[in-house]
A and B are shown apart, each in its own frame.
Chain A
Amino acid sequence: MPQAPMPEFSNSVKLKYVKLGYQYLVNHFLGLLLIPIMAVIAVELLRMGPEEILNLWNSLHFDLIQVLCSSFFVIFISTVYFMSKPRTVYLVDYSCYKPPVTCRVPFATFMEHSRLILKDKPKSVEFQMRILERSGLGEETCLPPAIHYIPPTPTMDAARSEAQMVIFTAMDDLFKKTGLKPKDIDILIVNCSLFSPTPSLSAMVINKYKLRSNIRSFNLSGMGCSAGLISVDLARDLLQVHPNSNAIIVSTEIITPNYYKGNERAMLLPNCLFRMGSAAILMSNRRSDRWRAKYKLCHLVRTHRGADDKSYYCVYEQEDKERHVGINLSKDLMAIAGEALKANITTIGPLVLPASEQLLFLSSLIGRKIFNPKWKPYIPDFKLAFEHFCIHAGGRAVIDELQKNLQLSGEHVEASRMTLHRFGNTSSSSLWYELSYIESKGRMRRGDRVWQIAFGSGFKCNSAVWKCNRTIKTPKDGPWSDCIDRYPVFIPEVVKL
């Protein structure tokens, strides 16, 4: 009996060491190459002796013109290099909105309200109960005050007051943390997918904080849960054009006006999962912020699959038979998300993966094309490229799917799962709650790379790669401050209601 498992174990250990050896070899190839070259030169020099070296030096005729030209050339090349290098964009700090405890919605309350409101549609209530049981949400997620009423009263006033509550609280917190004065904001980007009043939410922010009249403000709406990273992309592009500026991004989703009042099953899903939340982020390209910035933006890759009809229609806002507006989620959402992710990985892979993985992927690709199409495609190991992963907490299924596809361990997706449990699906701001979780757990060290992946309607898959600029001390306040000690929790497959 002990004979059979031993060989397997030693095989896998052998394989592990082979892999490690291979990775080390390929990733440090140039370094490894340099060592023998330096050794040869050193041996040569020692062999030659000091007089010979001096003779060699004197034999090189150095003309004044030659020296001048070569030095100008070097200066010219380095100037061109520094001028054309894209400005580094830093994330100075961010703050996430922590909803008040009085807005809490436990499962029992949600189900009761559901039953009281849809009293003649027991099948829809059953459906909602099953979704909630398997959703991965906890008992502390929050809905805005207007949705607590029986029946809910989603008026425009209520939506505006929810927007004011979540956005202004997050921004006040950000101002306090960074010491930023409202008059110093150069660029303002607000993204909120489903609530778009006139004047816009960015105008609301400008009005409240009395921002400058020459501020560059943008309001992105309708772009789904990946709008947060789209805003970051926009901020980065703007910060390339405007030197010495900062940008504030507000990512949120206003739940009040989007409560689905009908009973079409595929459209009841968002009611069960979407919760209140928002995040305010300060980005800057100023050199003075380099020392206190938390992260540096390395890459941002956006992939849009809208050209494909199936992807376009998979998250679709429409009216049901009774003229209630809701968001229809199609059944093949997971498959489409998987495809979008593959497209995104194909673009981001070469930018972030170490040479060893890229080589393996390339050889597997060539092999599949030329030799045998039936070879399994090699999935590069992204764990080598990143220390932390923030997967949009769109739902338990999304996180499970990505964990499987990218072969991530439980600890890698812990931030996403725990954010889903504590805050629910807060749409575009969920990535920031997850980042805050990692920081609150004290896991963020200088030089760590973070990969944020967001999915959104359209169908879009956007990723951002950040590099941690300084080791971050566990924050004393923040959305996780009072409950981080309870996490991680075990989330059962099905919670019996």
Chain B
Amino acid sequence: MEEDRVRFICKRTVVSTKSVEQGQLYRFSVFDHVMEPNHIRLVYYFRSSKTREPGEITKKLRESLAYTLNCYPIITGRLVKDIDGMDEKDDLNRQWKVKSNDGGMRMVEARATGTVEEWLRSVNREEELKLVHWEDMYHLPYYWSTFYVQVTEFDSGGLAIGLSCSHLLADSVCAMMFFRAWADLTLTRNMMAPPLFHSLPPRRFANHGMISNNQLLSHYIKSCALNAPPSNLTEDSIVTVTLLFPDPMVRAGESEPGLSTFEILAGLFWVCVSRAKGKTNEFVDMSLCVDVRKLLRLDQSYFGNCMVYHKVQYSKPFKTKDSLLLSHAAQDIHNATKRLDYDTVMDLIEWLSSNSNPISNGSDLVCTNLEDMGNSRPMMFEKDLILSHVSCYVEGPVAGGGQVIVLPSPSCEEPTSRVVMISLPRREMVKVVEDELLLSFSPVLLMDYTKQKNV
């Protein structure tokens, strides 16, 4: 194996520029607690047309990060348990809280050889994860930073910024919003969308009984049980492939009105993965991960977990031709998503307040919808740094037996083009990438798995 392309330079802590009021405690919502054992890793790639002094952009980013952290005391704080609080419940449920102590967040600086374009052409999952620093929780969580940023400058131009965080504090949506706020502050010295910290909507008191047939709730009841099926423990290693779908809506053929691109792609992968697993008469269990901020009437700047997992059931016949299968699958996904409404989610929230176990998606296929995270205003730190690619990884029991994450495509012109990151066991991946239905969408391979060493 050729030598490491990424060279670690140093690690340090970045603190906010204003000192925080000591002793403030932030509580987590029920959605946060349920996601505790997982963590997120994001990598943003920027190409550059200007040559810079090595270390110059890193210094600038470090300073602007310090200013950004003024608005995010929850990131610079540290996790504590068992603080003598006002809750009587604390005796039974010793839950995490964040103590705002001004600790700061860790930042790692690194250099990589070549340019961003070269890297993107030949990288695989293992190498990509070298661009994101992450440390599992220490034995003493009070000294453990929950967020990590790694800035990697490419010797011949370009920049990669990796952000990783514990899922207890943030979901992929607000991690991306944090990143955007940082970019805005660096470029314009102005934060367009500062975060909002508040609790989820309160309990309803209109004497609702639980909605019967609340599938979202039943999924959580099953998945949060202590004896929920563990995540994929096969001897097969997980590999990741990134595909760019230039215009999936068109390729879907009968463009059914009302279906979103995510639904079509999720349906596509539902079909392909099921076939790869060898199931001919049924589909694999699949959970969809969607952002419910809009549903709960919360602003997109709400900082905290606000994404739910709901299972989809296939209700139509199997023995049909491919395109019809796909369209049925997409339709079912659409219907399942439509069934989510304010009351359904509030039922879940109310139930979760008496449940303290984290969710595990077992060996389900998990499809995460992040397609709305693109923005017509481009995100950049400096005028010549153009975002060329975003990667997203979620690790932990919530990742189930395989993941499909649908992201917006930063570089493609077409508004419906999407970048999809698929993580599956190797044996299944081999079959999925050869699947005819998948190939009919003419996806462009952005990141391959073939160079990955077999662990």
Shortest distance in angstroms between A364's beta carbon and chain B's nearest beta carbon? 48
Q: Is B15 an interface residue (CB 8 A)?
A: yes
Q: What chain B residues lie within 8 Å of A149 (beta carbons)?
A: 10-12
* Residues A112 and B13 in contact in the complex (CB < 8 Å), given A101-B66, A102-B63: yes
Instruction: Enumerate chain B residues within 8 angstroms of A100, measured Cβ to Cβ.
Output: 63
Which residues of B in the span 4-25 have a Cβ within 8 Å of any Cβ on A? Answer: 10-15, 17-19
Residue among B13, B63, B78, B103 with the highest chain A CB neighbour number at 10 A: B13
Shortest C-beta distance, B102 to chain A (Å), equals: 4
Determine if B17 and A109 form an interchain contact, defined as CB atoms under 8 angstroms apart. Answer: no
Q: Are B66 and A139 in contact (CB under 8 A)?
A: no
- The complex places the Cα of A257 from the Cα of B287 at a distance, in Å, of 56
Bound-state CA distance A140–B17 (Å) is: 9
Asked whether any CB of chain B lies closer than 8 Å to the CB of A148, the reply is yes
The 8 A CB mask of B31-65 against A (1 = contact, 0 = none) is: 00000000000000000000000000000001100
Find out whether the CB atom of B103 lies under 8 angstroms from the CB atom of A109. yes
Q: Which of A104, A107, A111, A150 contacts B12 (CB 8 A)?
A: A150
* Given contact pairs A108-B101, A139-B102, A113 touches B13 in the complex (Cβ within 8 A): yes
Residue of A nearest to B70 (CB): A101
Distance of B70 from chain A, by nearest CB (Å): 10
Query: Among B13, B17, B101, B102, which residue has its beta carbon within 8 angstroms of that of A148?
Result: B13
Q: Which chain A residues lie closer than 8 Å to B197 at the CB level?
A: none
Across-interface contacts of A150 in B (CB, < 8 A): 10-13, 106
A113 and B140 CA atoms in complex are apart in Å by 13
Task: Give every chain A residue within 8 A of B19 (Cβ-Cβ).
Answer: 104, 106, 138-140
Closest Cβ of chain B to A418, distance in Å, is 15
Assuming the contacts A101-B66, A102-B66, asked whether A116 and B143 have C-beta atoms less than 8 A apart, the reply is: yes
Cα–Cα, bound, A445→B87 (Å): 56
B362 interfacial by beta-carbon distance below 8 Å: no
The A-contacting residues of B in range 132-172, CB under 8 angstroms, are: 140, 143, 145
Instruction: Determine whether B358 belongs to the interface, using a CB cutoff of 8 Å to chain A.
Output: no
The yes or no answer to B104 lying at the interface (CB within 8 A) is yes
Q: Is A261 an interface residue (CB 8 A)?
A: no
C-alpha spacing A116/B144, complex, angstroms: 10
Given A102-B66, A105-B15, A149-B11: A115 touches B143 (CB 8 Å cut-off): yes
Pairwise interchain contact B104-A106, C-beta atoms closer than 8 A: yes
Report the bound CA distance from A113 to B13 in whole Å. Answer: 8
Any B CB within 8 A of the CB of A164:
no
Contacts A102-B62, A102-B66, A153-B10 known; A112 to B103 CB distance under 8 Å?
Answer: yes
Q: Measured between C-beta atoms, what is the minimum distance from B400 to chain A in Å? A: 34
A275 to chain B, nearest CB (A): 15
With A109-B104, A139-B102, A149-B10 as known contacts, state yes or no: A104 contacts B143, CB within 8 Å.
no
Q: Which residues of B contact A153 (CB under 8 A)?
A: 10
Question: In chain A between 81 and 115, which residues have their CB closer than 8 angstroms to a CB of chain B?
Answer: 100-102, 104-109, 111-113, 115
Chain B residues lying within 8 Å of A140, measured Cβ to Cβ, are 19
CA distance A150 to B11 in the complex (A): 5
Chain B residues, Cβ within 8 Å of A139: 19, 102
From A112, A138, A148, B143 is in contact (CB under 8 Å) with A112
CA of A343 to CA of B145, assembled, Å: 51
List of A residues within 8 angstroms of B62 by Cβ: 102
- Distance between B107 CB and nearest chain A CB, rounded to angstroms: 10
Cβ contact within 8 Å between A107 and B102: yes
Q: A116-B143, A139-B19, A140-B19 are in contact. Are A106 and B102 (CB under 8 A)?
A: yes
Contact residue among A104, A111, A115 (Cβ-Cβ distance under 8 Å from B15): A104
Partner of A108, one of B10, B14, B103, B106: B103
Q: Shortest CB–CB separation between residue B111 and chain A, in angstroms?
A: 15
Contact between chains at B143 and A109 (CB < 8 Å) = no
Enumerate chain A residues within 8 angstroms of B66, measured Cβ to Cβ. Answer: 101-102
Q: B residues within 8 A CB of A106?
A: 15, 19, 101-104
Task: Return chain B residues, CB-CB under 8 Å to A104.
Answer: 15, 17, 19
Residues of B within 8 A of A116 (CB): 143
Cα distance A21–B17 when bound, in Å?
Answer: 54
- B142 to A: closest C-beta gap in Å: 8
CB-defined interface of B65-82 with A at 8 Å, one 1/0 digit per residue? Answer: 010000000000010000
Residues of chain A in range 32-75 having any CB-CB distance to chain B below 8 Å: none
CB distance from B163 to the nearest CB of A (A): 19
Least distance between B137 CB and chain A CB atoms (Å): 14
Q: How far is the CA of A156 from the CA of B321 in the complex (A)?
A: 72
Nearest residue (CB) in A for B142 is A112
Cα A153 to Cα B109 in complex, Å, equals: 14
Chain A residue at minimum C-beta to C-beta distance from B62: A102
**Supplied contacts A106-B103, A111-B143, A112-B103, 15 more A-B pairs, CB within 8 Å:** A100-B63, A101-B66, A106-B19, A106-B104, A107-B101, A107-B102, A109-B102, A109-B103, A113-B13, A115-B140, A139-B102, A150-B10, A150-B11, A150-B12, A153-B10
Enumerate 29 A-B pairs (CB-CB under 8 Å) in ascending A order: A101-B18, A104-B17, A106-B15, A106-B19, A106-B102, A106-B103, A106-B104, A108-B78, A108-B102, A108-B103, A109-B13, A109-B102, A109-B104, A112-B13, A112-B145, A115-B140, A116-B143, A139-B19, A139-B102, A140-B19, A148-B13, A149-B10, A149-B11, A149-B12, A150-B11, A150-B12, A150-B13, A150-B106, A153-B10
Binding site for B on A (CB under 8 A): 100-102, 104-109, 111-113, 115-116, 138-140, 148-150, 153
Q: What 4 A-B pairs have minimum CB-CB distances, sorted nearest first?
A: A106-B102, A101-B17, A139-B19, A108-B103
Which B residues are closer than 8 A to A by beta carbons? 10-15, 17-19, 62-63, 66, 78, 101-104, 106, 140, 143, 145
